[in-house]
C-alpha cells in the first residue's frame, strides 16, 4: 500500500453570494486560513451585463452600468469582510469578477493556484428548494481541487 503525504493548502478561495450566510462563510474561511497559515481569497461574481443586454436595449450604456454594478459589489464585499475581520483581508484578496460563478471559480483556481475551495450549501426542504442554484453541488460534480462545504439553513 502506497502512502501519500497530505500537505496543508497554501491558498484558499471562498465564494460568497452576498446572502446572510456570506458573513458566516467569510468568518469560517478567515479562521481556517489563520489556523493553517494559508493565503485567503474571497470571490463574488456579477452577471455579464453586456451578454444580458441585447439589441432591444440600445439606450443603456452597458459599460457605465457594468462599472456601477461591479463597484457596488466591491463595496458590499468590503462591508462584509470588514464587519467580520476589519481590514485583515485587503483589496487584492477581495475579488469581484464578471461571469458565471462556476467558470469564474475555475479561472481563479488556476490564476491564483488555489489549493482549497470553501463554499456553503443551502439546506432547505421547501417546495421551491429544487429551483435554487446551488454552486456547491455543481462544483462537486467536476471538482479539480479539494473543497470544504459548510451547510447553512
Q: Could you list the residue range(s) of the whole structural domain that residue 30 is in?
A: 11-120
Share of the chain above pLDDT 70, in %: 81
Res 117 pLDDT > 90: yes
Assigned domain for 6 exists: no
Q: Count structural domains, the chain.
A: 1
Kindly report the CATH number assigned to the domain that includes residue 15: 3.40.50.620
Assigned domain for 144 exists: no
Assigned domain for 129 exists: no
Assigned domain for 147 exists: no
Over residues 53-90, the pLDDT tens digits come to 555 555 567 778 888 889 999 999 999 999 999 999 99
Assigned domain for 107 exists: yes
* pTM across the whole model: 0.84
How far is 144 from 7, CA to CA, in rounded Å? 16
- Show Cβ contacts of residue 22 under 8 Å, excluding neighbours closer than 6 positions: 16, 80
Amino acid at each position: 500500500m502506497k502512502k501519500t503525504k497530505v500537505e496543508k493548502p497554501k491558498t484558499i478561495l471562498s465564494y460568497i453570494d452576498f446572502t446572510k450566510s456570506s458573513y458566516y462563510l467569510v468568518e469560517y474561511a478567515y479562521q481556517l486560513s489563520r489556523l493553517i497559515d494559508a493565503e485567503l481569497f474571497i470571490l463574488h461574481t456579477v452577471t455579464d451585463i453586456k451578454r444580458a443586454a441585447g439589441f432591444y436595449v440600445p439606450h443603456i450604456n452597458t459599460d457605465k452600468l457594468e462599472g456601477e454594478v461591479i463597484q457596488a459589489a466591491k463595496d458590499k464585499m468590503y462591508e462584509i469582510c470588514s464587519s467580520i475581520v476589519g481590514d485583515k483581508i485587503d483589496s487584492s484578496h477581495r475579488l469581484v469578477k464578471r461571469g458565471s460563478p462556476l467558470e469564474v471559480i475555475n479561472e481563479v483556481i488556476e490564476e491564483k493556484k488555489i489549493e482549497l475551495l470553501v463554499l456553503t450549501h443551502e439546506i432547505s426542504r421547501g417546495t421551491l428548494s429544487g429551483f435554487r442554484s446551488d454552486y456547491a453541488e455543481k462544483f462537486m460534480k467536476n471538482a479539480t481541487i479539494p473543497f470544504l462545504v459548510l451547510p447553512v439553513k
